[in-house]
Structure 1
């Protein structure tokens, strides 16, 4: 299984609108294989800035901007062919529609991919790769 992780940031003022957009874009139909065969699911995370975000607070102060709200997506795919069906020929390029770009202040230009080794204590064996 391939795990694809991507992050984007938005202003606190646009965070609820971006979350609403994600809710519209990421529906049950988009994660059950109907739109993207081999996509097993997607998790969406939101992190609002808090006092423990010292690094972000310092960077925002230096840039004279407000701390940003971070969104992360963690997508699961059967294999690399399924990733290609979602991302296209540029496997690692971020997929960021125009509507998302209008609300985001910045985003990862490239997604990161991981081979899932264990879920809930069930480890993948070397024989699974053959």
Structure 2
């Protein structure tokens, strides 16, 4: 799990992205929860980097879930970022999404309609 406290921008997000790139080959498959509930500011570059990190993990066969509070979830929805990375409101929901991903092999295979809405697999990048 990666937890951000304070501002999240391109400078700050670079560190966990480098961490994921360094460690992902040793974690098979790489699953990650990015906790933004303690972030006080999230710049557009920070959102873009989170999406890129999720895509990197997905390319390695992993899954990434972002935990965000209501205002940030709204921003992620308005910008369309929630179509690229799964966003939940609680750590518990994020952990359940990853557990279901691991159990199912493919997200959605074992989920009912409510869970699909909460644990939707992001669309692939074009």
TM norm structure 1: 0.29
Q: Greater helix share, 1 or 2?
A: 2
**Greater CA radius of gyration, 1 or 2?**
1
